[in-house]
């Protein structure tokens, strides 16, 4: 039994009001709220348990190191990774993808080599590859979504040519909610000898993720969308790819020895984790993932599917509302536009007056927005703690927008 009222009680911020109205938080695609257990873990980490990790011989350092390193195993369990040693801590997905760009791709890609991307990608899975285009002459090959916003794996695989060195795709669009069949892409790419990076920022919070079943080489997640602290995250890197990578950042913790004339590096994953990390942030992420697994990712997915279907049914009654994308496999993420003169920023402002938080803009996905012929949308993105009543509140506020701007 999924008790959404009990879950909502775990999130202190959901009991507050905004502009005199109960908060309806529908900006989860940007960043999710935090349960009390995560807030308490972060507070305790700074107030009672803080010290730098690794190499310390005192009680607090050993305690912090034990809690920090335990998170690697929690993330491996959350992603069903074969080994905790295939998990590299990062500050989030952006750093994770840059790590792959600098550490794996840059040393091995030459001018004319290709990276296959889709138009569904977030800028975090575009700009690092543009760096290689600008600096090394790497070619970016783009695969467009179908008219309904879905991404055909066959078209992604058809884009692979003799010079393709990497496929890098999202698991779920942060704009359209499209769920991408990354397992099919990975299977075909592997047959062609091409590694695949999956941006799991949106998908990992909404559904069970099994990197072993997906068959990817890299899978990136970000903590702040997973009900954890900002500045936390990780990337699964298949062991054979780790061995091919050079360090991204240099400093403490990622070395074995340093002399005037030479340096030897630590074994992965430590080789890719330089300097004092976000200790408390990563501990908080571990608590968040334990919380999610305690609820059950399958149960969360079912609850959000109910919200998705209910919202889509309610949207049908608004003939002046356009929901961007209609992929048959999608999450509870809706980019909305209204007929008439209403701009996404106007919609967001009106909704905010009703206590409803949504995101307005291009959602860090300008190539997709250009493909759709849009300058901006208002995005309502749902989470494990949202309810059907909040869908109704959104509909009522959108009707007010239509009255004002239609």
* Cα–Cα distances in angstroms (integers) from residue 213 to residues 24, 80, 101, 109, 168, in the given order: 36, 9, 24, 28, 17
Burial 264-281 (b: 16+ CB within 10 A, else e): ebbebbbbbbbeebbbbb
DSSP of 31-84: -----HHHHHHHHHHHHTS----SS--SHHHHHHHHHHHHHHHHHHHHHT-S-G
Catalytic (active site) residue 364 = yes
Q: Which of 37, 186, 216, 364 is catalytic?
A: 364
Q: How far apart are CA 241 and CA 251, in angstroms?
A: 22
Asked if 254 and 271 touch (Cβ cutoff 8 Å), the reply is yes
Which residues contact residue 50 at a Cβ distance below 8 angstroms, ignoring those fewer than 6 apart? 60, 64, 279, 280
* Cα–Cα distances in angstroms (integers) from residue 50 to residues 5, 53, 89, 254, in the given order: 34, 9, 18, 21
Q: How far apart are CA 297 and CA 359, in angstroms?
A: 25
| 217-220: long-range pairs with CB below 8 Å, 24+ | 217/241, 218/96, 218/100, 219/79, 220/90, 220/93, 220/96, 220/97
> pTM of the prediction?
0.98
Q: How far apart are CA 261 and CA 94, in angstroms?
A: 33
User: What is the pLDDT tens value at each position of the chain, 406 positions in all?
Assistant: 899 999 999 999 999 999 999 999 999 999 999 999 999 999 999 999 999 999 888 999 999 999 999 999 999 999 999 999 999 999 999 999 999 999 999 999 999 999 999 999 999 999 999 999 999 999 999 999 999 999 999 999 999 999 999 999 999 999 999 999 999 999 999 999 999 999 999 999 999 999 999 999 999 999 999 999 999 999 999 999 999 999 999 999 999 999 999 999 999 999 999 999 999 999 999 999 999 999 999 999 999 999 999 999 999 999 999 999 999 999 999 999 998 768 999 999 999 999 999 999 999 999 999 999 999 999 999 999 999 999 999 999 999 999 998 7
pLDDT at 330: 98
pLDDT at 4: 98
Asked if 284 and 38 touch (Cβ cutoff 8 Å), the reply is yes
């Amino acid at each position: 039994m999924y008790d959404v009222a009990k879950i909502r009680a775990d999130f202190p911020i959901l009991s507050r009001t905004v502009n005199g109205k109960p908060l309806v938080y529908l900006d989860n695609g940007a960043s999710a709220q935090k349960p009390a257990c995560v807030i308490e873990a972060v507070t305790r980490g700074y107030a009672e348990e803080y010290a730098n990790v690794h190499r310390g011989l005192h009680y607090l350092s050993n305690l912090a190191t034990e809690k920090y390193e335990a998170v690697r195993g929690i993330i491996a369990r959350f992603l069903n990774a074969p080994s905790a040693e295939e998990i590299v801590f990062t500050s989030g997905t952006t750093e994770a993808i840059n790590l792959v760009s600098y550490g794996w791709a840059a040393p091995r890609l030459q001018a004319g080599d290709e990276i296959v991307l889709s138009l569904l990608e977030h800028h975090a899975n575009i700009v690092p590859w543009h760096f290689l285009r600008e600096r090394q002459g790497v070619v970016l090959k783009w695969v467009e979504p179908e008219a309904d916003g879905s991404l055909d794996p066959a078209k992604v695989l058809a884009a692979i040519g003799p010079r393709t060195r990497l496929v890098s795709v999202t698991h779920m669009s942060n704009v359209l909610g499209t769920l991408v069949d990354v397992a099919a892409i990975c299977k075909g790419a592997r047959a062609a000898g091409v590694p695949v990076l999956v941006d799991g920022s949106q998908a990992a919070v909404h559904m069970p993720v099994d990197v072993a079943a997906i068959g990817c080489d890299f899978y990136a997640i970000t903590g702040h969308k997973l009900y954890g602290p900002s500045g936390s995250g990780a990337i699964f890197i298949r062991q054979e790819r780790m061995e091919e990578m050079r360090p991204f950042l240099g400093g403490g913790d990622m070395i074995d020895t340093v002399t005037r004339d030479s340096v030897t590096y630590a074994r992965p994953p430590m080789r890719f984790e330089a300097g004092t990390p976000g200790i408390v942030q990563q501990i908080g992420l571990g608590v968040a993932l334990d919380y999610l697994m305690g609820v059950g990712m399958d149960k969360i997915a079912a609850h959000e599917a109910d919200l998705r279907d209910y919202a889509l049914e309610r949207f049908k009654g608004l003939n002046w509302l356009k929901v961007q994308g209609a992929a048959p496999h999608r999450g509870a993420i809706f980019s909305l536009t209204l007929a008439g003169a209403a701009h996404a920023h106007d919609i967001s402002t009106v909704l905010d007056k009703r206590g409803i938080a949504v995101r307005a803009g291009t959602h860090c996905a300008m190539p997709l927005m250009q493909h759709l012929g849009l300058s901006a949308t208002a995005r309502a993105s749902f989470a494990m703690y949202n309810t059907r009543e909040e869908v109704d509140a959104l509909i009522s506020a959108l009707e007010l927008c239509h009255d004002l701007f239609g």
